[in-house]
Structure 1
């Protein structure tokens, strides 16, 4: 699977012609089919012009109580190689060193289909029970899952009434316990271009007469972000932080300070945004932030001439709180950047990527009990919940479609697994434990009948 360069469609305009996404789906389909799960049906589904997905439908065991469908989610598309990998490693080369499996997609999250299938096998092998289970592996997650709404609509009748969702695209801060994702941020990305001239002019002749497009861009950004604190000013991007999430952040900092706030490689003398770790956790999980992730119209300093440039373009990436309305945030952003523009400059805002966040519902008694048991029996330590600064579009879509379902967002991705960057690796023993934990949860769900939480 690692050897297939299944780069997500956002990074490969000719993805359909190259056929790598389809090859990844077919490869995993063949593996699952060969496992011989009783009654399992493995289908490759592809709508016109959309990236394919794999749907594995496994009937319930005979002794399972009626309780709806379990949906196990993962994705098979990958990030680009990105940079130089260490000696002996490469993005499309599977290498095992000690307990690590190296290669692009190893931890994010090519293991998911294998883990889900193996967990179902393990339940049966141990004499346990599982409800009807559907393994859904898409190939567009790294592109923001643009095709998933169409597939969910197309497959709605086949999915049936989902009562438990297990997402294997998560992870945590260490390899000692099961980490549960309690929230995911949404996002609004947009490209903003400020134009002041038809063509650039000599800066000695034009400066002071023609306002700089960069200065106008600065003023526009000051409308949406406080330049001193980084606080995002748009009301549509701000929500009240739930008290249980504040308590969770405080607990995470108290019990796992090394996990709560990763120690990024800051330069000497560089300070973090706050000296309070709890506030840093909340900044990263429940407060909106802005990052400028790209720029255009700016030549390399080594070749920059004395030119008053005609335009400046920035790629803006807003991370939104889990419960913010991403479309309302997008509309507000466009309005504030294009209304009453300084000096009458032309402003274009487009190339949007809009994604809602997600907030986990309360755990039903059977699930809370099963998670406690998994912590004791599989890991020897209690499970730990935490919010994640990133997003998984699929979770918000499913949360809307199945409001009564229980959710377990977990996975084998560690804080140092190098997802999206060179030398990505999967911790094999931890992936085994996560798989075992999923098997226990499947059995607990089947025996409980998948009952929703009681009010």
Structure 2
């Protein structure tokens, strides 16, 4: 393989066709089904898939076939199937990304907007540019550059789903449907994470699982004047607060249910200490003045964010805006509970434990309603093969000029848990160009274009090494 040609082709395509295609992708409000109940009728997900499919179909990649697969009633999946090129490895390599997006999530800065692509200071701004539209283009550019440079690769399938931001509820059905077509998967490359900076290659060693549900406590059939009802009918807020106290210690934030905890694996603490020493900290957050973090020890903060369970209340119902709130004993209080789970916890069992805690022996006999409950397992990497470690070392030296590092992450990628169970002996490379301040899920999302080129070249090098791995 001609490394010079590889790098030049990656840079050329990203500066031209790939950046243009990704910019057009930004313009499509392809909201994930959790944020667009009428997604099937609105067909914005389909528009995004068709845009990317057409772009992939035009790439000069010998034998490549771009195909949309859509099971009845489920979000579509886009596949790019590329036959092996000069490979002795019979395994399939799978490269994963997703095309669904988060909503705008507030007001963007002047001159920026969620559906308006803007290139500024080597960044592409717009919703879905970094999470995770770039993955489709990076995978194709890596393969195109490999072919141009005389490289090789095993059979490679780029798999792009459209429900990741909703917890990937349709992905298990598709993996069952496609299992025979994928064949023996030996390498999984997931392009959907953020690292600690934009200077080196960062890999995820684990991601957390997730469980979430809506819980509503109801005490009245309609609201009444608080002067008439308070002290007689229990407050729905107070009952709900009591239920939450069964799950979380309100003073420390520690989760009290053993089903949501796990032991820290060997080497995890050392990995975190090394990462912290080299600049990996918890995410840079817009902490309000005077607010103290949970701990002064950065290692403890990383452990909290990666290997310990947490609860976040991410939404509420039954509570009027402050300016509209009167002297009313409200009939109900509803909360959306989001649990981040340690990577190796059984997520369905954890969700069942939460549901039991919320519904057993409810104070004052209040009515408890649960809805929209879902769970997805986390993932922890398998030991790396010698060929992969060597490929990572070489790519890091030649592409980044700095050693690669692996770190645990606090987010959730259900795909990894599903593939980890389906292919326990496969090698995993979980990486991406996102880094501090990339603003995924919030206003002013952006993609670091130079880091994206470097990650794309690295993906090509890993595919090249995998072609003859044993």
What TM-score do you get using the length of structure 1 for normalisation? Answer: 0.96
Shift of 1:246: 0.9
Q: What do the CA deviations read for 1:6-38 (whole angstroms, capped 9, x no partner)?
A: 111111112122221111111111111111211
In structure 1, the residue matched to 2:33 is 9
Runs (5+) with no aligned partner, structure 1: none
1:27-79 deviation line (CA, Å, top 9, x unaligned): 11111111121111111111111111111110111x21123000011111111
Q: 1:41-440, aligned counterparts within 5 Å?
A: 41-61=65-85, 63-256=86-279, 259-440=280-461
* SS, match of residue 249 in structure 2: coil
Q: Deviations over 1:177-200 (max 9, x none)?
A: 011011111111111111112222
Superposed displacement of residue 425, structure 1: 1.0
Cα distance in structure 1, aligned partners of 2:283 and 2:81: 39
Secondary structure at the aligned position of 1:44 is classed as strand
- Name the SS for the 1:447 alignment partner: coil
Change (3 A) 1:104 1:404: same
**Would you say the 8 A contact 2:211–2:375 is kept in 1?**
yes
How far does residue 141 in structure 1 lie from its aligned partner after superposition?
Answer: 0.9
Q: Aligned-pair distance for 1:4?
A: 1.6
| Cα deviation, residue 447, structure 1 | 2.1
Please name the residue that 2:52 is paired with.
28
Structure 1 position 262, deviation (Å): 2.7
Displacement of 1:171: 2.3
The answer to whether the Cα contact below 8 Å between 2:68 and 2:78 also exists between their aligned partners in 1 is yes
Aligned CA distance change for structure 1 residues 98 and 305 (closer, same or farther; 3 Å): closer
> Separation in 2 of the partners of 1:241 and 1:288?
12
Q: Name the SS of the counterpart of 2:165 in structure 1.
A: helix
Structure 1 window deviating more from structure 2 (159-168 vs 310-319): it is 310-319
Q: Is the 8 A contact 2:284 2:436 kept in 1?
A: no
The alpha carbon displacement at 1:415 in A equals 2.0
Segments of structure 2 that go 5 or more residues without pairing to the other structure are: 1-24
Deviations 1:263-312 (A, max 9, x none): 32222221001111101000000000011111111122222221222211
Give SS of 1:305's match. Answer: coil
Aligned length: 446
Structure 1 position 390, deviation (Å): 0.8
